Amino acid sequence: MKKREISKEAIKKTVAISQEIEGYQPAPKPLQEKAKILMAKYHVKISA
């Protein structure tokens, strides 16, 4: 079986479409920074 090559552009496009469908919105930078501080402080992982 031959491994199919998927371009990075195709992956980005697919991810963008799926995020659009789910109503995903990127978190503003200050919120991401706060999350990093919290993760470091409490040794937990937050997926945002």
How do residues 1-22 score in pLDDT, each as one tens digit? Answer: 566 777 888 888 888 888 777 7
Report how far Cα 17 is from the mean position of its chain's Cα atoms: 13
For CA atoms 18, 21, 27, 32, the dihedral sign is negative
pLDDT for res 18: 81
Q: Which residues contact 39 (CB under 8 A, 6 or more apart)?
A: 45, 46
pLDDT for res 27: 67
- What global pTM score does this model have? 0.34
Rounded CA gap, 41 and 12, in Å?
32
pLDDT for res 3: 66
Residues 29 and 48: beta-carbon distance below 8 Å = no
Enumerate the domain spans of the chain. Answer: 8-42
Residues 35 and 41: beta-carbon distance below 8 Å = no
What does the pLDDT look like over 18-32, one tens digit per residue? 877 777 766 677 877
